[in-house]
Amino acid sequence: MAQVVVGYVQQDIVFGAKEANRLMYEREIALAKSADLLVLPELALTGYDIPDLEALARLSEPFGEGPTSTWLVESAAKYNTTLVCGYSESAGEKFYNSAMVALPSGELHNYRKIHLYSREKDLFAHGEERPLVCETPAGKVGVMICFDWFFPEVARCLAIDGADIIAHPANLVLPWCQDAMFARSIENRVYTITANRIGKESQAGRTLTFTGRSQVMSTRGVRLSEAPTDQPHTGLAKIELDEASNKRINAHNDLFEDRKPGQYASISGKETFPAS
């Protein structure tokens, strides 16, 4: 049985204060000594409600080259853990709401959020690549970001591509995700780690309230760790990776072998019904 310790860091985030936020996460990472994998929230260092393109340009950085990449790579090695962290990515003329995965070996991967929520559409381009699954010392980790949860196709693709664990950096404002992740976990038999934030952001007459309740959900839909709605919390849970790799439901059913993709043409766009 491959046992690993996984978890999340839930905090309030000070808008625009990248260095102060970074130091706060570094403290939590240093304290979570047993963690093999730690997930930080979406846009973890910048804050969420970026008011305009000028602020976006100032707060964003390129994948693999900016200070957030350097800090993540160094911290993953220093604390011998895999880190997943949401950040604002600049790439040429475009910006993405992205998450990096940093391994203790120095390897660094990137995922660009596919499903943009509300005003994010005014700022970011959506990701166009295959959802990311990478091999890490904590198992095969797939990544989706916040509102991607609303589209079960993402979690399904990650599971089919071999993810044992879905790392889910989030800045949730709708009330349903934490409960919906029950379904994402059991229907794919994967562990899910939702790293949400707490607190409020007020910009231009609008206020967003973030809903906390970060969690580690087991492959059987059991919450192995749950944070409060409005307090900082770093939560850890010990998990068995074999529970995610075995997709047998009973003697007759297998989660993946029993799928009928040819009859899912309305999703895949590939009609494979037999001719009548």
243 noted as active-site residue? no
Which runs of consecutive H residues, i.e. helices, occur in 32-96? 53-59, 67-78
CB of 13 to ligand ACM, least distance (A): 12
95 part of the interface to ligand ACM, by CB under 6 A: no
- Dihedral sign from CA coordinates of 16, 65, 28, 235: positive
Among the options 18, 85, 113, 177, which is catalytic?
A: 113
117 part of the interface to ligand ACM, by CB under 6 A: yes
CA distance linking residue 45 with residue 110, whole number of Å: 16
Q: Tokens at residue 46, please?
A: 């910048």
Coil, strand, or helix at residue 242?
helix
For ligand ACM, the binding residue among 25, 63, 111, 147 (CB under 6 A) is: 147
CA distance linking residue 6 with residue 192, whole number of Å: 10
CB of 78 to ligand ACM, least distance (A): 29
Residues 149-178 vs ligand ACM: string with x where CB under 6 A? ----------------------xxx-----
Among the options 134, 146, 157, 177, which is catalytic?
A: 146
- 70 vs 209 by CB, closer to ligand ACM: 209
Residues 40-59 vs ligand ACM: string with x where CB under 6 A? --x-----------------
For ligand ACM, the binding residue among 123, 146, 154, 216 (CB under 6 A) is: 146
177 noted as active-site residue? no
CB of 117 to ligand ACM, least distance (A): 3
In contact, 56 and 88? CB cutoff 8 Å: yes
CB of 31 to ligand ACM, least distance (A): 26
Q: Tokens at residue 238, please?
A: 């010990």
42 noted as active-site residue? yes
Owner of token pair 């992205």: 98
Coil, strand, or helix at residue 101?
strand
What b/e sequence results for 47-81 when a residue is b if at least 16 CB atoms lie within 10 Å of its CB, and e otherwise?
Answer: bbbbeeeebbeebbbebeebebbebbbebbeebeb
Residues that bind ligand ACM (CB under 6 A): 42, 117, 146-147, 171-173
Catalytic machinery residues: 42, 113, 146
